[in-house]
Chains A and B, each alone.
Chain A
Amino acid sequence: MATVDFAVGIGGENGQGIASTGDLLARIFARRGLNLNAYNAYQSIIRGGHTFLTVRASDGPVRSMGDKVDVLIPLNQDSMDRHLRLMKAGSCVLYDGDMLKPGTPAAGVQLCPMPMKVLTKGNKLAANTAALGATLQMLGIESEPLETVIARQFKKKGDEVVAENVGVARAGYEYAAQNFKAFPFKAPKLPKPQAIVTGNQATAMGGVAAGVKFYAAYPMSPSTGVLMWMASHARDLGIMVRQVEDEIGVMNMVIGAGHSGCRAMCATSGGGFALMAEAIGMAAMIETPLVCVDVQRAGPATGVPTKTEQGDLWQVLGAGQGDYPRIIVAPSSQLDLFRTIPELFNLCDKYQCPGIVLADLLISEGTASVDPAELKFDGKIDRGELILPNGKSETQNPFGGYNDNAYLRYKNTASGISPRAVPGVPGHIFTAASDEHDEDGTLISDEFTNSSKRRMMVEKRARKMQGAAADIAPPKIVGPENAQATLVGWGSTEGVIREAAEKLAGDEGIVVNQLPIKWIVPFHAEEVMRILSRSNKVIIVENNYSGQFARYLRAETGFTAHGHIRKYDGEPFMPHHIIESVKEQLAGKQAISVPSHEVSV
């Protein structure tokens, strides 16, 4: 059980170094063994605007950004004005006393003005470092960890910069010791340090664990972090990384690399994904495995580039023309992204089809702590029925020789899976065609369209998904069997729904359980139906306007949910949004709740 659970919020404008301050703080907490979640609410400009970063830490599980802020560090007046009114008794506000006017806080909020000019010796950019020093002091953390992470962060800028920042941090620390009231708790130090990882890093590392040898992308927030990680590690890890001219090119290049036999991957956001749609269908048609990650952001069109949403479900479901097999999965967290990608590669290799990951800004740009022991890079790699040369000479390969009709690349098997040779293997020559083709690859779409063969090939490809469904874990209820309501979510909302459910049980005595959905296609319609038909009240929680998952659930099962909690203002759910909505719905006041974000960030 958690003994402490606190959050630090840093607000200011882009360009004030808020992300790196948050990173320092997260690293200090993680090194103490605390679990954490960090979420940066920012805007699509390089300078100015308003940015608010929340780092929440606890010795218990941390699955969301939480509901409250204990330490507010407003770096400008705007942040002070936006956030002070939300601060509750027991919290504190650290700010530049010479520059900022606090206004009137709620009773019990400790105002902590700091003489920043003196503490930073006039270096305006170091104010956040002084505030960090003060924060640690008030949380009962020694000053050394901060000094160590500062040294790490500024190492490249030279000893002088390190010394200056360490000096400022110490000054802030000592000033707090003399002038402010520390928190009644101390942030504990646990024996096992945690690692911190963003979802984009976890995605890239998941690809590496899967054996990705080819990665291509076109920069697009919030997916660009994957490209940057891959590019900086490419040479050490032996990966071909390419920034391509557009996302159409990205997907087609990934298909080429996948077809050659590489494990190949790309990540984008909704706009880029839209450009990839036709090619994803081709991957399914020529039966080339690959993995594509769609890091969703608020749409449509350019939408809100730096804000989160679960709005691409139907885009992904409907991507490309025609019916075709593909696997669609929505991981729930940073660690889940890391684990899911190798699993998805195994499935895509086995079933020779594209795999699509639905991530979102919340988990992909958000940071979480993970137990380093959970980051396993030696998982099972299963490439399915892949024919590589295996060092065999031309005549040793099965079906050796040329002009040989014996090898059927698209052999119509019971499972729908046909042994896959890659170009360069002697004796297996074929043409992979995006036109409909026969078992040997020759076109049946042109001169002599053959309806029975067309039907056979459609069914052959479709059969693969029956096998895939059996390989994928069906969803399970989390929480007590007997509950007043079942909260259904998909992908990244799993953590916040879990926290909301726990708080409802603890604080309000309302028992709800949770059904997190991860695998979207194939969908376990029967299992889901069995679970939901036993539930007293089914409420679907999702980060979009139209209830995209609710509609999908109805399409796949015929089940109509009783209630809906939706949010489409660009910000993620906080636990209290769900709690209040559930209460409202259990009281019969609403069937669709749209909680609003209390602060504009």
Chain B
Amino acid sequence: MSIPVETAPASATPPVQASQVTKDTYKGKIHPDWCPGCGDFSVLAALQTALFELGLKPHQVLVVSGIGCSSNLPGYINSYGMHTLHGRSLPVATGAKLGNHELKVICVGGDGDGYGIGANHFVHTMRRNLDLTYIVMDNQIYGLTTGQVSPTSVKGMKTKSSPYGSVENPINPIPMAIVGGATYVARAFSGKQKHMVEILKGAIQHNGFSLVDVFSPCVTYNKDNTYKWFNPRIKILEEQGHDPTDFNKAIERGYQWGEEIPVGLFWRRTNLPTLEELEPVLHDGQGPLAWRKLGLSDEQAHALIKELL
């Protein structure tokens, strides 16, 4: 990361702090205002631990979210952050990643954010296979707007906007992501934080688009899919000898729902180049686009004018 361009304004230099990464490094300055017991606390803690354990420095990380309870996460973690619009974390993150492809870019948000209003971006970001990590805190409900039906709400679920029970079929993000072109597709559960840390570390290290759908219970508005409901059902794929390179098995396990619900890494492929790798503009040795010198050479300018003559 180099390329000098403009000069920074002279500012008073406060005492320089150690740049060692410690366990507290990723602690944000604000304490989360989630409801006590909300599954999102566990996701935040797992993400902080994963980043620490990977030895990343906060200024190298950009966490991008949409809008929702879960999307408040960037404010609670000490890294660069963007808290964008409802459903738009993925395109914003795509732009930021292409602008500075040396950043670790992590998107976070809710199921409404990602699979509802943001579904179009979700589908297209997956097929581009950009090197992004996308963590969806899937509580099967709209939390921030106080409990309406979501694209992952189970059929029949009663919510404030489906008082007679939802009659729509839910989205199943796991098979959708596997067929959609994501190259690392996993699920985690807020009740299994240690496992989630490993899944997140794998996702962040994976070179390509990774989806981690996390069952992150909304203790306030989802009275159906609670910790108590999930706990006996959750089975860890890694403990069952699942082979994440087996496409058919990945799809099959992805559809599993009911008495046994698998979490873990469903699908991974490493033989698909990322978008960044396919764009020569990022490989001319000049570093991130954002930090390059602006303007054209004389030859380039002449060539452009010649086209018009």
**Chain A interface (Cβ < 8 Å from any Cβ of B):** 30-31, 193, 195-197, 201, 205, 208-211, 213-214, 216, 233-240, 242, 244-246, 248-250, 252-264, 278-279, 282, 286, 370, 372, 375, 377-378, 381, 383, 385-392, 394-395, 397-406, 419, 422-435, 440-443, 446-447
Which B residues between 1 and 44 are near A, CB-CB below 8 angstroms? Answer: 1-19, 24-25, 27, 29-30, 33
A372: nearest residue on chain B (CB-CB)?
A: B305
Whether A201 lies near B308 (C-beta < 8 A) is yes
Query: How long is the Cα–Cα vector from A242 to B83 in the complex, in angstroms?
Result: 23
Residues in chain A near residue B94, CB distance under 8 A: 242, 253, 256
Residues in chain B near residue A426, CB distance under 8 A: 19, 57, 59
Residues in chain B near residue A258, CB distance under 8 A: 95, 99
Residues in chain A near residue B29, CB distance under 8 A: 403, 405, 440, 442
Query: How long is the Cα–Cα vector from A287 to B279 in the complex, in angstroms?
Result: 28
| A260 with B99, Cβ < 8 A, contacts A419-B9, A428-B59 known | yes
Partner of B11 from the list A235, A262, A377, A398 (CB cut-off 8 Å) is A398
What is the distance, in angstroms, from B57's C-beta to the closest C-beta of chain A?
Answer: 8
Partner of B281 from the list A235, A254, A381 (CB cut-off 8 Å) is A235
Which B residues between 63 and 84 are near A, CB-CB below 8 angstroms? Answer: 63-64, 67, 72, 74-75, 78-84
Whether B289 lies near A213 (C-beta < 8 A) is yes
Nearest 9 pairs of A and B residues by beta carbon: A256-B95, A401-B17, A211-B294, A260-B99, A431-B81, A261-B290, A195-B308, A252-B91, A257-B95
Q: List, sorted by A's number, 13 A–B pairs whose CB atoms are closer than 8 Å.
A: A233-B304, A245-B123, A250-B91, A252-B84, A253-B94, A264-B95, A372-B305, A381-B294, A392-B8, A397-B8, A400-B13, A403-B24, A429-B80
> Which residue, A31, A239, A256, A264, has most C-beta atoms of chain B within 10 A?
A256
Partner of B18 from the list A195, A238, A401, A429 (CB cut-off 8 Å) is A401
B76: nearest residue on chain A (CB-CB)?
A: A431
Partner of A434 from the list B8, B85, B95 (CB cut-off 8 Å) is B85
Query: How long is the Cα–Cα vector from A263 to B91 in the complex, in angstroms?
Result: 17
Which B residues between 266 and 309 are near A, CB-CB below 8 angstroms? Answer: 279-282, 284, 286, 288-292, 294-296, 300-301, 303-305, 308-309
Residues in chain A near residue B6, CB distance under 8 A: 383, 386, 388, 390
A216: nearest residue on chain B (CB-CB)?
A: B95
Contact with A along B98-127 (1 / 0, CB 8 A): 111011000000000000000011011000
What is the distance, in angstroms, from A112's C-beta to the closest C-beta of chain B?
Answer: 31
Residues in chain A near residue B92, CB distance under 8 A: 252-253, 255-256, 259
Whether B58 lies near A263 (C-beta < 8 A) is no
Whether A286 lies near B82 (C-beta < 8 A) is yes
B60 contacts chain A at the CB level, 8 A cutoff: yes
What is the distance, in angstroms, from B257's C-beta to the closest C-beta of chain A?
Answer: 29
Residues in chain A near residue B102, CB distance under 8 A: 424
Partner of B291 from the list A196, A388, A440 (CB cut-off 8 Å) is A388
Residues in chain A near residue B83, CB distance under 8 A: 431-435, 443
Query: How long is the Cα–Cα vector from A253 to B82 in the complex, in angstroms?
Result: 13
Which B residues between 166 and 211 are near A, CB-CB below 8 angstroms? Answer: none
Whether A253 lies near B308 (C-beta < 8 A) is no
B96 contacts chain A at the CB level, 8 A cutoff: yes
What is the distance, in angstroms, from B121's C-beta to the closest C-beta of chain A?
Answer: 6
What is the distance, in angstroms, from B48's C-beta to the closest C-beta of chain A?
Answer: 13
| A424 with B60, Cβ < 8 A, contacts A213-B99, A395-B16 known | yes
B144: nearest residue on chain A (CB-CB)?
A: A446
Query: How long is the Cα–Cα vector from A210 to B67 in the complex, in angstroms?
Result: 33
> Which residue, B11, B12, B97, has most C-beta atoms of chain A within 10 A?
B11
Query: How long is the Cα–Cα vector from A261 to B99 in the complex, in angstroms?
Result: 7
Query: How long is the Cα–Cα vector from A462 to B256 in the complex, in angstroms?
Result: 54
Residues in chain A near residue B67, CB distance under 8 A: 434
Partner of B95 from the list A214, A424, A429 (CB cut-off 8 Å) is A214
What is the distance, in angstroms, from B129's C-beta to the closest C-beta of chain A?
Answer: 14
What is the distance, in angstroms, from A259's C-beta to the closest C-beta of chain B?
Answer: 6
What is the distance, in angstroms, from B201's C-beta to the closest C-beta of chain A?
Answer: 21
> Which residue, B6, B9, B63, B78, has most C-beta atoms of chain A within 10 A?
B6
Whether B5 lies near A431 (C-beta < 8 A) is no
Whether B98 lies near A259 (C-beta < 8 A) is no
Partner of A252 from the list B9, B27, B95 (CB cut-off 8 Å) is B95
Partner of A214 from the list B33, B98, B284 (CB cut-off 8 Å) is B98
A244: nearest residue on chain B (CB-CB)?
A: B91
Whether A424 lies near B279 (C-beta < 8 A) is no
Residues in chain A near residue B8, CB distance under 8 A: 387-388, 390, 392, 397-398, 419
Whether B81 lies near A401 (C-beta < 8 A) is no
Residues in chain B near residue A260, CB distance under 8 A: 95-100, 103, 288-290
Query: How long is the Cα–Cα vector from A73 to B3 in the complex, in angstroms?
Result: 56
B93 contacts chain A at the CB level, 8 A cutoff: yes
B158 contacts chain A at the CB level, 8 A cutoff: no
Whether A424 lies near B120 (C-beta < 8 A) is no
Query: How long is the Cα–Cα vector from A240 to B72 in the complex, in angstroms?
Result: 30
